[in-house]
Amino acid sequence: MEILAIVGAFTKSLLFVLAAVLPIMNPPAMAPTFLAMTDGARQATRAALARRIGRNVALMLSGAMLVGSYVLDFFGVSLSIVRVGGGMIVAATAWRLLHSSEMTSDTRSKMADTFTAEHVRARAFYPMTFPLTCGPGSIAAAITVGAALHDPHWGVQLARFGGGLVGNLLVGVAVYFTYRYARQLLRPLGETGMVVFLRLSAFILLCVGVQIVWDGASELVRELAASLPPQE
């Protein structure tokens, strides 16, 4: 019976992570942004970048789940502040994508030469992993999941966190395959359709960034209102 409880705890936490994080992260929706930010890069370079982003996502989610709440408490930073700061970065990146000019074939060839291994390593974490792929919403969800996985029984708690870590790994794998084959996924749109879709995706990403800032600012206002002394 104890083994069944441990297996059940492992499975439930794994599914809990997938259900809580994947809809917020939504890798297919970020695939056009990945293509736009790697415009001109060779397919092998995109594959290497996608692999690094997937690995970084799994590590970030696992770190947020295990120690995220303790780190924020140590620095005195609230999730509301994380949302405001991360949302501003997302909105700024989307604004640049929205106003970027189309590349010619010569420009694409020159850009391909600039995507060196060092360039891939530099861009893999910021801004591709954070905040574009694993943003404030995903981190907040991972921290919330980590707080819910605690259990008075050590065996069950270890099983829950084990399932959560495997769930984070699966999320990273999903990100890798989505980015790795992003061009194939969007190829049915055609060249013109892809350009239009990339612009629309940039605008939606801008709206998402503004929404994240709004949510964080609203929470800060509510916290401020709650801390004020009642009026006589």
**Residue 32 forms part of a structural domain:** yes
Q: Mean pLDDT check: name the lowest of 122-131, 167-176, 222-231.
A: 222-231
| Residue 85 is assigned to a structural domain of this protein | yes
Give the pTM. Answer: 0.76
Quote the pLDDT of residue 1: 47
3-state helix vs strand vs coil in the chain, percent to 5: 85, 0, 15
pLDDT tens, residue by residue, 10-33: 999 999 899 888 888 889 888 888
Output the pLDDT for position 115: 60
Per-residue pLDDT at 108: 45
Name the pLDDT band for 171 (thresholds 50, 70, 90).
very high
Q: Is 31 among the domain residues?
A: yes
The count of structural domains within the chain is 1
Q: Is residue 62 part of a domain?
A: yes
pLDDT category at 158 given cuts 50, 70, 90 is very high
For residue 108, tell me if it sits in a domain: yes
231 in any annotated domain? no
Is the pLDDT reported for residue 189 higher than 50? yes
Q: Is residue 165 part of a domain?
A: yes
- What's the gap between Cα 17 and its chain centre? 14
Cα gap 15→4, rounded to integer Å: 16
Tens digit of pLDDT for each residue in 101-144? 654 444 444 444 556 667 677 778 988 898 889 988 888 888 88
Please, which pLDDT band fits residue 51 given cuts at 50, 70 and 90?
very high
Is residue 232 one of the residues assigned to a domain? no
For residue 37, the enclosing domain spans 2-226
